[in-house]
Amino acid sequence: MVFELPPSASRAEVLRVRAGELRPAVTDWLAEEVPIAFEVNGLSHAIMLASPIDLEDYALGFALTEGLIDRVDDLLDIEVEPAEIGITLQLRVTLRCFMRMKERRRVLAGRTGCGLCGKDSLKEAVQAPKPLISSTGLDGSENLYLSKAALQKAQTELLARQSLQRQTGAVHAAAWCDGEGAVQWVREDVGRHNALDKVIGARASGLAEDEVSTAGFMLITSRASFEMVHKAVTARVPVLAAMSAPTALAVRMADQAGLTLLGFVRSGDMVVYTHAHRIDTGCEHHGAGKDSTWT
């Protein structure tokens, strides 16, 4: 039997109460979330819940940020296979990446307990990725100096391009923006991590190998958790701007990795948590140092 991809949203008849008054039944839209199974060279890897859209971008972004591949060329093929109760993403990667993944699975299987127990496992779980600035020089991220106007422009454009959010009110979004605040790619998903993976995948597949991929910033509608910072740094993103708050662990990782982390980015306001040298706040006391926190 051949199955089609499910829609990103479905109709539902609902009752609404407004100002204490029951209104007549109306048609509303609900965001779909679907089990997505990742298989790498035929080997089951993970199952996620996600919106069933932009799945090729999701596969590439997930593979990059989870360390399944090192670069775009390591992902040789993607097949999207809808089934009755979900979708399987069949990823075919290079032999080098596949053997590394199998070795890591073998090591985890040999440990006692859940596989994340013990000092070595915990250290691996919160280990910061490679810093944005290499010891041999700049990687492009120091060429960025963002203004408040650029951040506000990006937020306005992102909100205007959240079509699934307007329809359902139930999804997150992530956008890659250039240094002037123009939105280049937007992706939406019921999961904030999925939305970020999708836009990372879209950005990676849309860039030539010789382009400076760090000359811009990522804007997300959610909070900035440890995982979101980890994914951003892994994808060589110099600035992560969140419309909500970060966690303490996210701030520590951002500082260690050289990522500029912003929170509460709303209508020109922001809180700068780490590496403020990439942000023109328009304030007199700008330049207080990378460890300063400004509002």
Is the residue at 81 inside a domain? yes
Tell me what pLDDT residue 129 has.
Answer: 73
Please tell me whether residues 151 and 265 are part of one structural domain.
yes
Amino acid at position 213, single letter: S
pLDDT at 112 over 70: no
Please tell me whether residues 148 and 274 are part of one structural domain.
yes
Residues in contact with 107: Cβ distance below 8 Å, sequence separation at least 6, in sequence order: none
The rounded distance, in Å, linking the Cα atoms of 183 and 179 is: 10
SS (H, E, C) 190-239: CCHHHHHHHHHHHHHHHCCCCCCCCCEEEEECCCECHHHHHHHHHCCCCE
Please tell me whether residues 205 and 254 are part of one structural domain.
yes
Strand pairing category for 239-242 and 183-189: unpaired
Please tell me whether residues 114 and 155 are part of one structural domain.
no
Is the residue at 180 inside a domain? yes
Please tell me whether residues 100 and 173 are part of one structural domain.
no
Tell me what pLDDT residue 119 has.
Answer: 44
Please tell me whether residues 72 and 180 are part of one structural domain.
no
Higher pLDDT, 2 or 237: 237
Query: Which of 125, 152, 179 represents a domain boundary (last residue)?
Result: 125
SS3 188: strand
Q: Which two tokens stand for residue 128?
A: 């910061």
Please tell me whether residues 171 and 230 are part of one structural domain.
yes
pLDDT at 15 over 70: yes
Per residue in 245-285, pLDDT (tens digit) is 999 999 999 999 999 999 999 988 999 999 999 999 776 55
Please tell me whether residues 276 and 225 are part of one structural domain.
yes
**What CATH number did the domain enclosing 191 receive?**
3.40.140.10
Tell me what pLDDT residue 109 has.
Answer: 56
Is the residue at 130 inside a domain? no
pLDDT at 295 over 90: no
Is the residue at 293 inside a domain? no
Is the residue at 154 inside a domain? yes
Please tell me whether residues 233 and 103 are part of one structural domain.
no
Q: Could you tell me which of 215, 212, 248, 206 has the C-alpha nearest to residue 229? A: 248
Per residue in 155-211, pLDDT (tens digit) is 999 999 999 999 999 999 999 999 999 999 999 999 999 999 999 999 999 874 444
Per residue in 113-155, pLDDT (tens digit) is 444 444 455 666 666 677 775 433 344 556 689 999 999 999 9
Is the residue at 20 inside a domain? no
Backbone angles phi, psi at 56, to 5 degrees: -65, -40
Per residue in 19-64, pLDDT (tens digit) is 999 999 999 999 999 999 999 999 999 999 999 999 999 999 999 9
Domain of residue 97, residue span: 34-125
Higher pLDDT, 291 or 170: 170
Q: What domain count does the chain have? A: 2
Is the residue at 179 inside a domain? yes
Please tell me whether residues 90 and 158 are part of one structural domain.
no
Location of structure tokens 């890897």: 45
The rounded distance, in Å, linking the Cα atoms of 151 and 163 is: 20
Backbone angles phi, psi at 229, to 5 degrees: -65, -45
Percent pLDDT > 70 in the chain is 81
Q: Could you tell me which of 88, 82, 83, 79 has the C-alpha nearest to residue 36? A: 88
Please tell me whether residues 118 and 233 are part of one structural domain.
no
Is the residue at 16 inside a domain? no
Please tell me whether residues 114 and 41 are part of one structural domain.
yes
Give mean pLDDT, residues 81-99.
Answer: 97
Tell me what pLDDT residue 56 has.
Answer: 98
Tell me what pLDDT residue 1 has.
Answer: 80
Q: Catalytic amino acids? A: 114
